[in-house]
Structure 1
Amino acid sequence: MSLFNVCSWWSAQCSDPGEEYDVASLLCARFGLESQEKDYIIVGSQTGQLSIYYPHGRGYDATDLLLETQMDAPIIGLYAGKFSGNARNENANQLGVLLPNAIVIYNVVAIGGLAEHGAQLRLQVQVEHKFQRVSFGLCQGHFGQVKGREFFCVVHLDGTLTFFEQDGISYECRFPGHRALPAPVAYCERTDSFFRFSATWDLQCFSYQDLSHSLVTKSSYQPTWSQGVGEGIVDMRVVQVKENCSYIMILGERNFISLDDNGKFNFMLKLDYAPKCFTSFVVGYYWEPGARLISAIISDSSKLHLYEEANIIWAAQWPKQSTAPVAIQRSNIQNLAGGIVTLGARGQLEVGYLGADPVQFQVQPLNVEELSFAQAHKELQKLEDEIKEAVDVRDMDALNQQAADQVRLSFTIEHEANDDLDTLLMDVPADVAVKELPSAKGLLRCKIKAELAELQLVFQTPNGVRCSQDTMSFVNVPAGTSKEFKLDFYTAELLHIHSTKVEVVASFISTRGIPRVIQQSANLPLSMFYRTCQPQKAAGIKLTYSITSRHVSPKLATFFGEFLEEQSDTHALGLQLLCPGLEKQSEVITVVAAKNSNRFRIQSDYVEAFAMILERIVERTLQLDNSAGLIKMDKKKPKRGILNRCVERLMAAPFLPAQPILHRIDVHHDTQLSIRKQTDQLEDLWQQFKTLQRQLQEQSESEPKEALTMQIESNYDQLILEGDKLVEIRRDERKQRCDLNCAVALAKWIIHALNLEERVVNVVSSVLSVPIEDWTELSWEESMAPGIDMLHHFGPLTRSKSSSTHGLLDANAGTKDSFDYSRFRRHFSTLFERIVRLASSPMALNPETGKEEPSTEEKQPPTQQVDEIGNMQRMLGEKGLPLVPPKRKSNMSSSLEAVEDDEEYDEEDLREDVGYRKEYGATDPKNPSNKKRSEWVNEDFELPTTEELFSDLGIWW
């Protein structure tokens, strides 16, 4: 902390209060308007606001502002000098305003008023130069050591220098070597050379003669000298200190450096603060022996440091500025010689001086109150309780309930879809809007019970569905606030959708800084994605579900109220997918309910059509059963030997369509390989493009460039072509990822209702998570491989219970290069087969007796079966179908056999014939059905103990 403050003499607030000012926004100069003229203060903002001040005395007065105007473009920099040869007054300076694409030279004209307070300034355009490139800065001086004439050059972002003579353009040139980073360029009049900071953190010197003759002789040139600085620079200035020497003052990011004009280091001062800006000046005349070099540096803590060469001589603090100034200059203004002019990032313009005004610091009186240990203990205990409340997560139910009490959410979605969506307002793509797909309306009510510092609401929708307000943020929310949001959910992409669930996540931070997250979910109506059609008589994939709950009516109207009336007795429902709405094929799924039993059959030729239908059946069954007063499933903790409690309400037939799912995985994996191959090819083309660019820059002007230019153009065209291919592959990847989402969701919903141990269902469901994700360095298959490999070697789905398999996982552990897709695919297929076998075993069906209990349907007399099949035939429009064939035992071989009698619809088919067509990859029909089971299935289908199953699966609980 400094002992003294900077004394404020004059201050003003510029017209633009935003953070629109930098080091080039401040200029102190004289324009030769009067004989006893002092310095004017010119300020230009990056929004184009230009102001000229002329302080007359201590304290700001309205007459100090002489000009204020608005430019057409942001102001990059302000400069003053003899930029025009047409000036009548030889001592007059012109004002140069650097814009991004032009530089404008103005004559500053004084207009006297009728009274003393009426004086003002006016700008007259002298000349304007347009640029082809974007400008970065300007460097001015007597180039070529010409007296009486002042030239300037514009530094562009690509490193090009554009030199201008008086009222005309001279030439352009580039620095040799690699492309330059945008950095200041300074001119030294004594040596007639330019100093440039290169991209390699080197200070390079180029003579004006080399730069001026570079385009005439078409020859390459090298820097006169180069000196390594070793860090980035903040600013750079050239000051002539002696008659035979000039100093280059460089303010680095951590050091203050001084070199002479021959590249020799004078000093390097390490700074113990972060510098913001600086200025250097000479006290006296440089040809006098007593001339002193003074530098003023401002730190990020608003402290001014004065140095005489490398020695600090003064330090002072700005008492009123909360942020450090971004620009500083020394100026001689009226009634104050040697004033310090600073400009803040928000336009705080201030003129000060160094004085002996001490810092007003008073020591706070000591608290001599007697310490009460009992009161201190209570306060400490209160703080501990607050900390425990914020970080203790042992009782998550209590924390979730507390969070739900603080922010109460009510999220609902209408059960009926509508067609009145404004596609233009929602910015729906044209290919989606033309199909006029239905949308759904939702309502979110939010009631805040406690004061919150921040609140954010995020809607998570499935891929392809969008919400009209997907994210909402609020700050400083008072207690008792109630908010209501009307929402629209609509299809934004023509993709297969795997779920109808929409989640709203409310994350908030209390005033004490405690973060909490709560969420609610609702389901979109199926009428957004399906429309009714004629039921199909045959299909490639058939699934069977049995409703085992007494509280759920096994009717189609119970589950599909969007398409059927509540009193409807329809036993067959055909639904066609609206999205993606392929023209060549209609994706139809058929749901059939048996009349005299509690079974459903869901059949379709397309895997993508199943996910939302199965989700509706499973979740609606659990919802109706829970609303009847039963304990929710997620409130019970799975115990040893407990079977999946979902089968108490709903049970699926033990079948998984492995081959269609594996086909989707194969397509997705092939696309990932294509993306990596295309990315590598693009990287090679990009490297060639950069190499050709570098060769073109380093090529001398005398060498022909036509061949190299043709190579660059050809390489660029190829780069664009391959980039378009990658975009197309990425588009296909998104579609295939959605298809795979549907396939994995299908398997997940089937496993969710299988007659397995509940821990097995939980583990497999956690591995088969949706939606799937692909990363740049890791595909979904590679991220899934460890989980599938774990299930393959450990737990109830392993080949054997021997502990010798514990080392198998380490054999293929390593990087992504060791990923074996064929092994992953084999394990995935084996996992499905073992799940089906375990779900079909007698122990899984009845763990107490080991025998399958006869179902109520099998006790029905044969006449009832025939009558039901007849009803189903009339329902589906079939005539002349054969009667029920003799009952045959279901085949539990290593892979399920294909169903050949797709045209027969009878009770026996509804109960046991689940499968897929032969083209999906059934087993060889030559294999006998009574073949001995594989060795890796437990011989007695006995469920192992918890210690044997889950000793290595603890990471998933």
Structure 2
Amino acid sequence: MSLFKAREWWAATTGSEEEFAPTAFCVADVDNQGGNKVATGSLSGLLRIYHPRQRGYLAEDLLLEQRLDAPIIQLAAGELLPGHSRLALAVLHPRKLAVYEVHAGKQNGAYHTLARAWESPLARNSFSMVLGRFGGRGSHESVAVQSIDGSVSVFEGEALSYTRLLANFLIPGPLLYSPRTNSLLTANSLLQVVSFKLSALALARADAQPQAAAGAAAGAAGGKAEKRIAPDWAIVVGEHVVDMALGRFTAGLGGGAHDVLVLGVQTLFALKEGSGQLIYQRRLDMQPSCMTVYPAGDGADPGTGGADNVLLCSATGAILVLRHSAILWAARAERPPIALAVSPFAGIKGLLVSLSAQGEACALYLGTDPPTNGVGGSHEKELDYDEMDAEHRTLLAQIRETTGGQRAEPADAITLRAQQPRSVDPPTERGLGDADGASNAQSVTVRVAVTHSGVGALSDVRLSVQCELPVYALRETIPLPAVMGGSGTPLTVPIVFRARSGGSGSGLCPTSMQAVVVASYVTADGQPRTARAEVQLPLPLVARAIPPVKSADFKVTLDTDQPPLPLAELFDDVLALPASLGEGGKGGGASGSALSLRLCSGHEVTALTSKNAGRYRLQSASFDALWLLAAELSARLRRRLPGVRVSFNEPLPLTEYFALIDAHFAARQQLVAVSSRLEQRARQFRVVQKRLLVRFKDRNPAPLFNLDALLSGTHGQIVALADDAHAARAALDAAARALACGTQLVNLLVVLRFDLDAENAAALNAHISARTADTSSEQGWEERTDAALAHALRTSLGKAGAPKESAASSSLALPPLAMPSDVSKLKKHITVVCDRLSKGGRFV
């Protein structure tokens, strides 16, 4: 069918785009003077009422313009005044529902006024409303208001009858009332259309205990707990619902029966009103924006069995007229409508009243002027199936090339190559120190080569350096004015790293010796890109040789299948430090088969070798400090002895590891308790301030009754609790760093004891992660790790012979993450995982 323009009969600009956000639209006889009027509302609270009387807009068409005290979300007209049959205007605001009477002036219906009949506050942020004679009785209509969180509140006049919370409402959908079934219909976040009987909503117990999510929502709203109501019927439509309406769409409907028309983002559905059965669907080749239904024919009455027409509007302005699934007419509006209605004006029937996104209210009629540059029909060109098949093969080849695993790198990319340092800088190359006063500390200079593979120069390239404390970079951000392209000499950027051994970094055990350098830049065509390089910093940066230390509380023994190497050969870079840096001048260094190191945190670790067997014992007074020496020793043995097998044959030190978990969890609980007390005192401080302000503003002076002393005392408590919170945060950070080191040590020992390959070792480190920093107050390390281990025990590490759950079903069975009351369950899961690994179970 050809597409003609919808001609404009009347149009009014309801406001500028900056002032007006078109959100509300209503066509009804709101002033009860005969003839429909057009009411519009905006987010700025501006209400306007128009009465088109002739072709073209006149100033007299604006009957009322008034700014309300809140944004307008929706407008509706109905018999909302008890004891009266007059129409009133219902205005839905975010936190209240107001009903107004529109009174006509005495001068030819002009100079209308607005009188508030009643209003009712809303406990939740509103989203939409619907009017109707609920239950089919009553002299006036009731209002059902839907909130953003899915609760439905029913108002009988200005009195709130009840509020019920509906399930699965992440994003609320349109709301519709069916008088024949006395039901409310809406769409939920499961892409379903659901129907709720109003009788079931009214009879549900409001004081029944709901599910956890419903109880939390009710507590946040400050009301009683609300019970989730099961729907009368539900059907999955599989897409987001844009609009819903009741109409006589399909053929063969009896008198008084209607279809539920559901407009999705791609499909039009027709459902049975009583059961929700799908009876019709039509795939749309446009993006719909709104829909309306009106009786077909002259004076057709739906109650007598007449058919209805359906108007569909798209985001591009296309308007389709459908009857019984057939397209009767198509037109295009110059301004795409976001709301549409059919109403007579000035004796002209069938005018389309629309509201555009630009804030223009228009009355349109379907034009019959053909387009000047219309698209020809399919008969004007014969289809070439061979050409279509060749084009299809070409498109498939392009899709496979684009989505393939091998993707070519861009020609103008930046590449970073970092030099891996083996030792610290000589004393002559050290700087003058930094803000921490570490002028005599070891430093390591990493030279990063920046290469540009394109042509020309890239400007504003920025290097960012990331590393874990106590290791830090003297310059964390390095701007590069220009990087030249071509095959010339790459740009070399030196980056100096140091380790804090005092001041703010005192007592911090190194959790990682890896640094990351990231280059961020913008290409010549404006595309932002990044390049990345990783650097493994040498052990001498954070460790110095000291005289052998014999006393130790924690010991770990690593076994190899080859004769032991001298420790002086394995750690020659540490022993090569001059006496001014290490403690070689005081007897430091390797003494036979023993080597002791002092980390920058102050912890001391010792390595001992066996005389005959390839056995290395590591010991220290701190359990978490052992991980760095154990990781370095195993890595250096594999470099010096290719093919060597490093193993751990002792029981896993889970008791010591669980002590670190207990300390970290206790630090979290302490911080939560202090934060809660601080929040209570802050609330008390605000309350006292408000009381004092009321006293000071009072014209008649009144005694303070020691409110000033209470304010001063509360302020002192807040300062003290803030200091306690700062100390609790510092204690939590220290416990988190100790737990990170202990986690890396235990993961290393698990890998060595059960001979895990690289893939399973990576999976172990992902499930029991060493990233223990608590960046969120809602999800801590304990609950994340416990959820990951529970998922592994249900899937890959399930019991032998037992059916293993899929990843999807296991993730659905896991409870929501919340801070536990204790860590006994986490300890049990860690023990079970180690037991499953010892029996041959693997993550991958």
Summarize the Cα distance change of 1:59–1:287 in structure 2 as closer, same or farther, 3 Å threshold: closer
**Contact 2:150-2:167 within 8 A present in 1 as well:** no
Aligned-partner Cα distance in 1 for 2:335–2:242? 25
Question: Is residue 366 of structure 2 the alignment partner of residue 354 of structure 1?
Answer: yes
Q: 2:237 aligns with which of 212, 231, 238?
A: 231
TM-score, normalization: structure 1? 0.47
Residue of structure 2 in register with 1:501 after alignment: 514
1:104 paired residue number:
98
| Alpha-carbon distance in 2 for matches of 1:108, 1:609 | 79
Between 1:506-515 and 1:331-340, the stretch displaced more is 506-515
CA shift, 1:270, in A, is 3.1
Query: Structure 2: how far apart are the matches of 1:492 and 1:276?
Result: 59
The alpha carbon displacement at 1:278 in A equals 1.0
Identify the match of residue 340 of structure 1 among 330, 335, 352: 352
**2:48 maps to 1:52:** yes
- The alignment status of 1:403 with 2:413, answered yes or no, reads yes
Please state how far the C-alpha of 1:239 moved relative to its aligned partner. Answer: 5.9
Q: How far is 1:103 from its partner? A: 0.8
8 Å Cα contact 1:773/1:779 also seen in 2: no
Question: Letter of the aligned partner of 2:604 in structure 1?
Answer: V
Superposed, 1:470-619 pairs within 5 Å as 497-506=510-519, 518-521=531-534, 536-539=549-552, 540=555, 545-547=567-569, 554-557=575-578, 571=589, 575-576=598-599, 578=601, 587-589=603-605, 604-606=620-622, 608-612=624-628
Measured against aligned partners, the alpha-carbon deviations of 1:202-257 in whole angstroms (never above 9, x if no partner) come to 7758587x9878899x9xxxx9x977766376433346999962534422543442
Distance, in Å, in 2 between the alignment partners of 1:465 and 1:7 is: 72
Percent identity over the alignment?
A: 20
Q: CA deviation at 1:497?
A: 4.4
Q: Which residue of 2 aligns with 1:78?
A: 75
Indicate how the Cα distance of structure 1 residues 139 and 556 shifts in structure 2: closer, same or farther if over 3 A, else same: same
Deviation at 1:328, TM superposition (A): 2.3
- The corresponding residue for 2:744 is 741
Answer yes or no: is 1:171 the counterpart of 2:181: no
Matches within 5 A, 1:770-789: 772-774=765-767, 779=789
| Partners of 2:88 and 2:495 in 1: CA distance | 59
Partner of 2:814: none
Give the drift of 1:513.
11
1:868 corresponds in structure 2 to: none
User: Is the counterpart of residue 94 in structure 1 residue 88 in structure 2?
Assistant: yes
The answer to whether the aligner puts 1:294 opposite 2:309 as a matched pair is yes
Q: Do the aligned partners of residues 782 and 392 (structure 1) sit closer, same or farther apart at CA in structure 2, a change above 3 Å counting? A: closer
Q: How do 1:51-450 and structure 2 match up within 5 A?
A: 51-52=47-48, 54=50, 67=65, 69=67, 71-72=69-70, 75-84=72-81, 93-108=87-102, 124-133=115-124, 135-142=126-133, 149-155=140-146, 162-166=153-157, 168-169=158-159, 171-172=161-162, 186-187=176-177, 193-196=182-185, 231=237, 234-238=242-246, 245=256, 247-253=258-264, 254-257=267-270, 268=280, 270-273=282-285, 275-282=288-295, 284-286=298-300, 293-299=308-314, 302-318=317-333, 321=336, 325-332=337-344, 338-343=350-355, 352-361=364-373, 403-404=413-414, 418=435
Question: 2:125·2:147 contact (CA, 8 Å) conserved in 1?
Answer: yes
Q: Deviations over 1:424-455 (max 9, x none)?
A: xxxxxxxxxxxxxxx99999999987799999
Task: Tell me which residue corresponds to 1:39.
Answer: 37
Q: 1:81 to 1:390 in 2, by over 3 A?
A: closer
In 2, Cα distance between the equivalents of 1:401 and 1:517?
A: 14
CA deviations 1:893-928 (Å, max 9, x no partner) are xxxxxxxxxxxxxxxxxxxxxxxxxxxxxxxxxxxx
In the other structure, the counterpart of 2:27 is: 28
| CA–CA separation in structure 2 for the residues paired with 1:5 and 1:270 | 24
Cα distance change, pair 255–781 in 1 and its aligned pair in 2 (3 A): closer
* Alignment check: 8 A CA contact 1:155 1:161 kept: yes
- Structure 1 residue 277, shift from structure 2 partner: 2.5
Task: Report the CA distance between 1:76 and its aligned residue.
Answer: 4.1
Question: How much does 1:739 deviate?
Answer: 1.7
Corresponding residue SS for 2:368: strand
Deviations 1:457-508 (CA, angstroms, capped at 9, x unpaired): 9876559999999999xxxx9999x999999999999996442322134588
Q: Distance in 2 between matches of 1:156 and 1:192?
A: 23
Structure with larger Rg = 1
Cα distance in 1 for residues equivalent to 2:763 and 2:275: 64
Q: Deviations over 1:134-164 (max 9, x none)?
A: 5453232345767874433334578765443
Residue 277 of structure 1 aligns to which amino acid in structure 2?
Answer: C
Kept in 1, the 8 Å contact 2:540–2:574? The answer is no
Q: Cα–Cα, structure 1 residues 28 and 504, in superposed 2: closer, same or farther, change >3 Å? A: farther
How many Å separate the matches in 1 of 2:340 and 2:445? 59
Can you give the 5+ residue segments of structure 1 that lack an aligned partner in the other structure? 365-383, 421-438, 579-585, 593-599, 622-642, 676-730, 752-760, 788-810, 829-955
Residue 317 of structure 1 aligns to which amino acid in structure 2?
R
Q: How does 1:551-950 map to 2 (within 5 A)?
A: 554-557=575-578, 571=589, 575-576=598-599, 578=601, 587-589=603-605, 604-606=620-622, 608-612=624-628, 646-647=639-640, 658=648, 662-663=652-653, 738-742=741-745, 772-774=765-767, 779=789, 821-822=834-835, 824-825=837-838
- 1:494 and 1:771 map into 2 onto residues whose CA distance is 28
Distance 1:501 1:297 in 2: 60
Q: Contact (CA 8 Å) 2:445, 2:497: kept in 1 or not?
A: yes
Q: Which amino acid aligns with 2:31?
A: G
Q: CA deviation at 1:133?
A: 5.0
- Partner amino acid, structure 2, of 1:193: N
Match of 1:879 in 2: none
Q: Distance in 2 between matches of 1:392 and 1:135?
A: 48
Cα 1:733–1:95 shift into 2, 3 Å: same
Partner Cα separation in structure 2 for residue 160 and residue 744 of structure 1: 48
**1:257 counterpart letter in structure 2:** A
Q: Distance in 2 between matches of 1:230 and 1:269?
A: 13
TM-score normalised to structure 2 length: 0.52
State the distance in 2 between where 1:468 and 1:331 align: 74
SS in 1 for 2:512: coil
What amino acid is aligned across from residue 298 of structure 1 in structure 2? Answer: C
DSSP-derived class of the 2:744 partner: helix
TM-aligned CA distance change 1:236 to 1:813, over 3 Å: closer
SS of residue in 2 equivalent to 1:96: strand
Size of the aligned set, in residue pairs, is 620
Structure scoring higher RCO (CA < 8 A, sep ≥ 6) equals: 1
* SS of residue matched to 1:43: strand
Task: Answer yes or no: is the 8 Å Cα contact 1:21–1:346 preserved in 2.
Answer: yes
For residues 347 and 41 of structure 2, the distance between their equivalents in structure 1, rounded to whole angstroms, comes to 21
Paired letter, 1:78:
L
Gaps of 5+ in 2: 209-228, 377-396, 425-429, 438-442, 558-564, 591-595, 609-615, 666-733, 768-784, 807-831
What whole-Å deviation, never above 9, does each CA across 1:330-376 have from its counterpart, x for those lacking one? 34567986443444567676654321243343789xxxxxxxxxxxx
Q: Distance in 1 between matches of 2:496 and 2:345?
A: 62
The separation in 2 between residues aligned to 1:51 and 1:457, in whole angstroms, is 55
The CA RMSD measured in Å over matched residues stands at 7.4
Say if 1:498 and 1:608, in contact at 8 Å, map to a contact too: no
Counterpart CA distance in 2 for 1:214 and 1:826 is 53
CA gap of 1:509–1:272, structure 2 versus 1, over 3 A, is: farther
